[in-house]
Amino acid sequence: MDRLAGQIGATPGRLYPDIRPYDQRMIDRGDGHQLYVEQCGNPDGQPVLVLHGGPGGGCSPFMRRFFDPAHYRVVLFDQRGCGRSRPTASVEANTTAHLIGDIEAIRQILGVASWTLFGGSWGATLALAYAEAHPDRVAALVLRGVFLGMQSELDWFYGGGAGRFFPDLWARFREVIPEGERGNLIAAYHRRLFDDDPGRQARYALPWLIWENALAGLQSSASTTAPTEYARAFARLENHYFVNGCFLDEGQLLRNRARIENLPAVIVQGRYDMVCPPQSAWQLAEGWDRCELRIVPAAGHALSEAPIAAELVRVMDELRDRASSA
């Protein structure tokens, strides 16, 4: 959903001005995937890696605007199968382990010793997974709308929990699936999103996308539209990860937290986040002395909601000021 973030109540005045990348490239990973990578801001600045949501959301110019361009060297990339990376919507050789490998390859190619990880939703999941695999390559974590890749979180969103608050939208999400298959909507959508007929894939991609986007912000709308190919890539990739438990062992990110507890972290969490409820952020932060949980009132999940965006800019400015005074 992050790539559509500008549609969800952003307040441009709270963000840095739009900037253009000083470096754009495609990185061939040698297994059929090519990754789009860009850099913007200060080439000699403090490195920060932006990890988009989804899986399958891709990056957007909006995501460059949370960082002081005079201080930060901002790296963004489209994860496998989405955005400007190629091939589009491909789930071959596309797992969490592959994405962790991609991040490490990008770091080495760009010559970054260590970087701050900035990620929300699935981007927070991936930030935690990478940090736990390579803690010596991470300087800090800034997370938003925490998703830990656990079955209980998927059950909340695709098993009827969130639907209790949005019964009209939940009914629309379910009605395209025959009644006998509604006991496991992730699996039911999987059969259709991975049908041999691309047209059938596209027909089920938009309801999948609309359900998530409609709940992303307090001012979100169920009238979301998106290009067919974007919706198809987003839905296929997200469903692929979810049907496979995000390619994580259940509770893995919490069990392995000790590997990163020496790192500073800030979590920005909307109080009324219906996509990733605050419980996961609370579980992650509890007992982690160097982790600060900031619950934002009157805010939901979306990166672009004004209170969420303002708090994220504030966090990055605080990290900048701390580094400058060290």
Give the C-alpha separation, 297 to 65, whole Å.
22
Summarised one tens digit per residue, pLDDT across range 106-161 is: 999 999 999 999 999 999 999 999 999 999 999 999 999 999 999 999 999 999 99
Tokens of 76: 């963004």
E strand or H helix that includes residue 291: strand 291-296
* Residue 205: C-alpha distances to residues 41, 51, 166, 232, 237 (Å): 35, 23, 20, 5, 10
Summarised one tens digit per residue, pLDDT across range 310-319 is: 999 999 999 9
Q: What is the pTM of this model?
A: 0.96
Give the C-alpha separation, 157 to 137, whole Å.
33
Strand order across the beta sheet in which 46-51 lies? 23-28, 34-41, 72-77, 46-51, 115-121, 138-146, 265-270, 291-296
Tell me the CB-side half-sphere exposure of residue 185, using CA atoms within 13 A: 24
Give the C-alpha separation, 161 to 57, whole Å.
23
Residue with tokens 């830990």: 148
The mean of the pLDDT values for the chain is 95
Summarised one tens digit per residue, pLDDT across range 60-91 is: 999 999 999 999 999 999 999 999 999 999 99
Give the C-alpha separation, 138 to 61, whole Å.
24
The one-letter amino acid code at 160 reads G
Q: Which residues of 169-205 are buried (b: 16+ CB within 10 A; e: fewer)?
A: bbeebbeebeeeeeeebbebbbebbeeeeeeebebbb
Task: Please report which confidence band the pLDDT of residue 8 belongs to, taking 50, 70 and 90 as the band edges.
Answer: very low
Residues 268/269/271/275 CA torsion (nearest 10 deg): 150
Q: Are 273 and 140 in contact (CB under 8 A)?
A: no
Q: Are 210 and 222 in contact (CB under 8 A)?
A: yes
Tell me whether strands 46-51 and 115-121 are parallel, antiparallel or unpaired.
parallel
Q: Active-site residue numbers?
A: 121, 273, 301
- Closest to 303 in 3D by CA, of 28, 17, 3, 71: 3
Task: Please report which confidence band the pLDDT of residue 225 belongs to, taking 50, 70 and 90 as the band edges.
Answer: confident
Architecture of domain 2-150+247-325: 3-Layer(aba) Sandwich (3.40)
Summarised one tens digit per residue, pLDDT across range 247-277 is: 999 999 999 999 999 999 999 999 999 999 9
Three-state SS for 101? Answer: helix
- Closest to 50 in 3D by CA, of 113, 132, 143: 143
Where do the CATH 3.40.50.1820 domains begin and end in the chain?
2-150+247-325
In terms of residues, how long is the chain? Answer: 326
Q: Are 168 and 144 in contact (CB under 8 A)?
A: no
